[in-house]
Amino acid sequence: MRAGRDRVMVRVLRSETTMNTHPGLIGKKLGNTQIFLDDGDVVRVTVVRVGPCIVVGKRTLEKDGYSALILGLDDKREKLVNKPEKGFFDKAGVKPKRTVRELRLPVDEVARYEVGQTLKPSDVFVEGQFVDVSGTTKGRGFTGVMKRWNFAGAGSDTHGTHEYRRHGGSVGTNMTPGRTLANLKMAGQYGNEKVTILNLKVARIMDDEQLVLIEGAVPGAREGYVTVRGAAKKKNAGRPAAAAS
């Protein structure tokens, strides 16, 4: 039984660590709004500016052992660029970028793009496509267990509760094992970590404004940078059947 359970666990871990190799873009979260569909329904969306997103470099199997695109977004002032960065951007023939991300892609997908090429939202996404959005969540500092882990508290405020209304409760053990166990839910740093929201739907693409409107909420605060890629757990990178064909 133990060997069978171990095989199941290995299979689960491998499936959860599958790398997303679908095309995507870097974006800046501008805020939230709502749009009206043709049938009158209201859709709540997050507005993400994904341009001008520029290819600033490539990784190849021959030179680097893997294939990837290096994308840049938003110009960076010359005085803030160090010499190694300046040499990299000069070689690519593009202005220094404030945000740079490397996206692993198949070899044939990398070959479609050239260094210095500017990507529009419609070059990568279609309306109705499902995407995965990664970003850094808002930092909330040092918080207690009720905010960090959604603890219920001590319950009644009147029947025997003294100064423990928002405490985490007992965390100790008996003589065996005689220590505090690892991974207990306690107070501590909350937020300011990378989070990926899966399977969000692209509601609208606006090439002229370099905007993508995504149904639902995406991680991070306004003006924060995010990475938008085709859905890893959907067929055809989350594209609708008509667009995929």
pLDDT at residue number 11: 39
Per-residue pLDDT, 121: 94
Could you tell me the pLDDT band of residue 137, with boundaries at 50, 70 and 90? very high
- Provide the token pair at 231: 């859905």
Exposed/middle/buried for 143, CB within 10 Å: 0-12, 13-18, 19+? middle
**Residue 135, class by beta-carbon neighbours within 10 Å (0-12 exposed, 13-18 middle, 19+ buried)?**
buried
**Confidence check: pLDDT of 50 > 90:** yes
DSSP 147: H
Strand, coil or helix: what is 49? strand
How large a percentage of the chain has pLDDT more than 70? 92
Mean pLDDT of 102-108: 94
Query: Would you state the pLDDT for residue 244?
Result: 61
Alpha helices in the chain (DSSP H): 2-16, 61-64, 83-92, 107-110, 121-124, 145-149, 241-244
- The model's pLDDT over 219-233, given as tens digits with 9 standing for 90+, comes to 999 999 999 999 999
The span from the CA of 72 to the CA of 98, in Å, is 7
Q: Which of 148, 143, 137 is nearest to 221 (CA)?
A: 137
The predicted structure's pLDDT at residue 165 = 83
Q: Would the pLDDT of 1 be above 60? A: no
Tokens 């021959």 sit on residue: 62
Task: Count the neighbouring beta carbons within 10 Å of the beta carbon of residue 197.
Answer: 17
DSSP 3-state percent helix, strand, coil across the chain (nearest 5): 20, 35, 45
State what percent of residues in the chain have pLDDT above 90.
Answer: 73
Range 73-78 average pLDDT: 92
pLDDT digits (tens, 9 = 90+) for 9-26: 343 334 445 789 999 999
Domain ranges, ordered by start, for the chain:
143-168+184-190
Q: Which residues contact 27 (CB under 8 A, 6 or more apart)?
A: 48, 49, 50, 53, 73, 212, 225, 226, 227, 228
The pLDDT assigned to 175 comes to: 86
Q: Under the phi-then-psi rule, with left for phi > 0, alpha for psi from -120 to 50, and beta for the rest, what region is 37?
A: beta
| Omega of the bond leading into 96 within 30 degrees of 0 (cis) | no
pLDDT at 17: 56
- Residue 221 has a pLDDT of 94
Is 226 in contact with 131 (CB distance < 8 Å)? no
pLDDT for the residue 88: 93
